[in-house]
Chains A and B, each alone.
Chain A
Amino acid sequence: MSRTLLSGNEAVARGAWEAGVAVGVGYPGTPSTEVLESLVRFDGVRCEWAPNEKVAAEVAGGVSLGGRRTLVTMKHVGLNVAADALYTQAYTGVTGGLVYLVADDPGMHSSQNEQDTRNHAAAAHVPLLEPSDSQEALEYVISAFRISEAYDVPVIVRMTTRISHAKTLVEVGERSEAVGGSYASQPPKFVMMPGNARLRRIDLESRMTALEAYAETASENRVEMRDASLGIVTSGVAYQYVREALPDASVLKIGLVNPLSDRLLFDFRSRVERIAVVEELDPYLTLRLKALGVDLVDTGLPTMGELSPMAIAVAFGGKIPETREPIPDLPPRPPLLCPGCPHRGIFRGLAKMRAIVIGDIGCYTLAALPPLKAMDSCVCMGASIGMARGMELAGSADRPVVAVIGDSTFAHSGITGLLHMAYTGSSATVVVLDNRTTAMTGHQGNPVSGVSLGGAPAQAVDLEALCSALGAASVRVVDPHDLDATLAVLKHEVAEDHLSVIIAKAPCALIVKEHKDPYAVDEESCTKCGACVRLGCPAISYDVNGRAVIDTTLCVGCAQCVQVCRFDAIVQVGPSCDIGGV
């Protein structure tokens, strides 16, 4: 059998396809996004981006109700949005297998928090499987569908960044016969009004008890006996780190993390002299073992951020190897808005107005960093609008308050916030950054851009009509690359005593196919005033003499810098192969 190099996310998609999945649905979120982007390439599977994770979970619930297998994907924080569906789907159970693929982001490479999805599984009373490489990702997704149908319950497969985005060798299989159930009406099972729900609550308990018995011998849990003087209980990528750091230790590798089998844990305890838990994020397995009265070796490993093989080796008495001295005084390299990013135009205007910017989740969150420094808060998807209303109610701001939200984020959770503003008589100003794509997660289509998951054209919402219909008194469209016009509209709408929406419409620089010719700085005319540099375009910097210089290989010709130069020093030039910059 040939083996292929697949990322964890690609392996999940492959596993779902092999399991005969009929539908994949989700909302993009790093590190989960590539699952549906790979699944859509398989024949016989319908894949859709939903406007948010709750809608995705409900669509998946409907596919399951209709008797077909379905995979719903999201990042960890997305499960908070979908939790409303999940917690009650646990009661109803499934018809066709229903699997949630949830990707956590320990260390917050691309997230606003690092919550641990294992807690959701315990709280919702649903099983959770956790693979430790791509091969297991494929296999566990197939198991998850089997468990979902056998135990009548939705199943979570939990990934983390290092599993989702690591490529490892996988033996792939073939697609099984699509499991095609049919619909049969069963109101007592699926209509969750109190009388039915109480019975399903009891039923859920007995389903989880049956699963606990399954967990005792489940192939997803594995005892690897080596030296019996130390036994490690671990799961997920931490298993790989343990094998690297402590090659002689015995290991209980937990693949089915919820429910746990007490017998399995006690049995492993009895086979080793000392026992320790190595897990990333919350002390989930640790607390369970402690609750059982098991005396654990205190590793002192952190309960936040990512683990590493070295951290584990050191926790068990290993020595830190000799390393090279770091080179001192290196400048940090934070991520930044691309050259020609349309967002820069809006945030430059907001900074000029000294506005209090209530921000949201997307590339534009980077406007919080210097030199723009034009964002005051960013919490969760859609929070900008509700929080801006709250700031208005607090009444303490001595500067204008503006909510700023991206197009995809607005469709995700902003619409209801705006409805609230209109309903409660707010006179706030909301800016929707419509860059025609979901940029930060890698340019997915969305209902505002009117591009479907496969890239085909789809129905696009009419943002202006939508905002008017919700009750915005004024809806204006601006081109954020036109700096003066943008600033004028911002100033005008902030001053008005009514609810306004400003739609800043210009495509993300990375989806523009044909860029304009780049610009260059005319050395003679540049007065070293630095106005263009303060835009924070990565193509512009200072040369050794303190004059501005443009890297023509990076410049995409957006002309924003041209407008801030009062000395006409920035002129358009042809494309070239030389590298400017420092």
Chain B
Amino acid sequence: MGVTTVVLAGVGGQGTILAGDVLAKVAVAEGHEVKLSEVHGMAQRGGSVDTVVRFGEEVFSPVVDRGMADHLIAFEIIEGARTLPYLRPGGRLVVNRRMVAPLPVLIGDLPAPEDLEQALVAGGAVLLDAEALACEAGSPRSANVVLLGAASYGLPFAEATWTSVIEERVPPKTVEANLRAFALGRHACAEGVCEL
């Protein structure tokens, strides 16, 4: 089996690091060689952050170039659009509809990009509203786990492995909300309700 590459793209503070960690641990639990790469420091102050998880029999590079990712999970729509060239043609694309306006847009220096949803759907995206599902799950902060649930539908791991790693990895008080968030994300994709 070759190497599978998943890129998680988002904005500093959105929980991509925890999500990447869960995914990497799931891959380890299922017997894969795994490498995960993330960026700390200044970029985390609201900048673009990408986490890369690669798994398979033998993994060398912890990072990838454009056109090399098999899955792209975007926690935010502009970051999904920005990272799209990393996804290989035919790769799987899951995008959170939420837009977090970057500073130049907030202060009115640049317009908010339009028609991103269409462009991403044309690129094969499955869109969902992770924040709404997270609120439904009982914790607005579990949007990252909703997205993991959505991503999990296309990844070759057992649902039980996911739930046991999530139980281990999230704060004890939030386990139930996070498991509900995961299930909502996964089923949203399974039932195709998150298409445009």
Q: Are B67 and A162 in touch, CB under 8 angstroms?
A: no
Q: Does B173 contact A (CB under 8 A)?
A: no
In the complex, A440→B47 CA distance in Å?
13
Q: How far is the CB of B99 from chain A (nearest CB, A)?
A: 6
Q: Which chain A residues lie closer than 8 Å to B37 at the CB level?
A: 162, 165-167
Asked whether any CB of chain B lies closer than 8 Å to the CB of A176, the reply is no
Cβ contact within 8 Å between A237 and B103: no
Which A538-553 residues have a C-beta within 8 angstroms of B?
538, 540-542, 553
Task: Write the nearest CB–CB distance from B52 to chain A, whole angstroms.
Answer: 9
Q: Nearest chain A CB to B186's CB is how many angstroms away?
A: 22
Q: Which of A329-337, A380-388, A459-467 contacts B (4 or more CB under 8 A)?
A: A329-337
CB distance B60 to A335 under 8 Å? no
Interface centre among A369, A371, A534, A536 (most CB of B within 10 A): A371
List chain A residues, Cβ under 8 A from B59: 168
Pick from B34, B98, B105, B113: contact of A168, CB below 8 A.
B34
Min CB–CB distance B87 → chain A (angstroms) = 6
The residue in chain B whose Cβ has the minimal distance to the Cβ of A362 is B42
Which residues 20-52 of B have a CB within 8 angstroms of A?
21, 24-25, 28, 33-48
Q: Contact mask B54-80 → A, CB, 8 Å, 1/0? A: 000001111111111000000000110
B136 to chain A, nearest CB (A): 10
Cβ–Cβ contact B106 & A538, under 8 A: yes
Number of residues from B at the complex interface, CB < 8 A: 62
Q: A338-B45, A370-B103, A536-B103 are in contact. Are A167 and B24 (CB under 8 A)?
A: yes
A471 at the interface (CB under 8 A from B): no
Q: Which residues of A have CB within 8 Å of B45?
A: 335-338, 363, 366, 440
Q: Does the CB pair A581–B66 fall under 8 Å?
A: no
* Chain B positions within 8 Å of A310 at CB level: 65-66, 68
Once the chains bind, are B61 and A309 in contact (CB under 8 Å)? yes
Q: CA A331 – CA B111 in complex, angstroms?
A: 8
B149 at interface by CB-CB < 8 Å: no
Partner of B103, one of A109, A336, A440: A336
**Residues of chain B contacted by A542 (CB below 8 angstroms):** 106, 108
Asked whether B84 lies within 8 Å of A169 as measured between CB atoms, the reply is: no
Q: Is the CB of B47 within 8 A of A333?
A: yes
Instruction: Please give, as numbers and ranges, the residues of chain B lying within 8 Å of A237 by CB-CB distance.
Output: 61-62
Neighbouring A residues of B140 by C-beta, 8 Å: 553, 577
The interface residues of chain A lying within 8 Å CB-to-CB of B41 are 30-31, 109-110, 440-441
Q: Is there contact, CB below 8 Å, between A109 and B42?
A: yes
- Say yes or no: A323-B66 contact (C-beta < 8 A), given A30-B40, A338-B46: yes
Interface residues of A in 317-339 (CB under 8 A from B): 320-327, 329-338
Tell whether A541 pairs with B106 under 8 Å between CB atoms, given A109-B39, A165-B37, A338-B45.
yes
Residues A322 and B67 in contact, CB atoms below 8 Å apart = yes
Q: How far is the CB of A302 from chain B (nearest CB, A)?
A: 15
Task: Pick the residue among B61, B104, B131 that contacts A332 (CB under 8 A).
Answer: B104
User: Nearest-CB distance from A477 to chain B (Å)?
Assistant: 26
Chain B residues whose CB sits within 8 angstroms of the CB of A538 once the complex forms: 46, 103, 106
Q: Is the CB of B82 within 8 A of A530?
A: no
| B185 CB–A CB distance under 8 Å | no
- Decide: A162 near B62, CB < 8 A? Known: A321-B67, A440-B41, A541-B106: yes
Q: Is B121 located at the chain interface by the 8 A CB criterion? A: no
Q: Is the CB of B102 within 8 A of A326?
A: no
In the complex, chain B residues 88-132 whose Cβ is within 8 Å of any chain A Cβ? 88-89, 98-110, 112-113, 116, 119, 123, 131
Beta-carbon contacts of A513-546 to B below 8 Å, as 1s and 0s? Answer: 0000000000000000010011010101110000
- The answer on a CB contact under 8 Å between A327 and B89 is no
Q: B18 → chain A, closest Cβ, in Å? A: 13
Known: A169-B28, A324-B84. A110 touches B40 (CB 8 A): yes
| Chain A residues with CB below 8 A from B62, complex form | 133, 162, 166, 168, 237, 240
The answer to whether A323 touches B67 (Cβ under 8 A) is yes
User: A581 near B113 (CB under 8 angstroms)?
Assistant: no
Known: A324-B87, A582-B101. 11 other contacts (CB 8 A): A5-B36, A166-B35, A167-B35, A169-B34, A310-B66, A310-B68, A321-B67, A327-B119, A331-B105, A540-B106, A577-B140
Report B's interface with A, CB cutoff 8 A.
11-12, 21, 24-25, 28, 33-48, 59-68, 78-79, 81-82, 84-85, 87-89, 98-110, 112-113, 116, 119, 123, 131, 135, 140
User: Can you list 30 pairs linking A and B with CB atoms under 8 Å apart?
Assistant: A5-B36, A110-B43, A133-B62, A165-B38, A165-B39, A168-B59, A169-B34, A240-B61, A243-B60, A243-B61, A308-B65, A310-B65, A321-B88, A324-B123, A326-B85, A327-B113, A327-B116, A331-B101, A333-B78, A334-B102, A335-B42, A335-B46, A337-B45, A338-B46, A371-B103, A536-B106, A538-B46, A541-B101, A541-B105, A577-B140
Interface pairs A-B: 6 shortest CB-CB: A110-B41, A30-B41, A335-B47, A310-B65, A323-B67, A166-B62
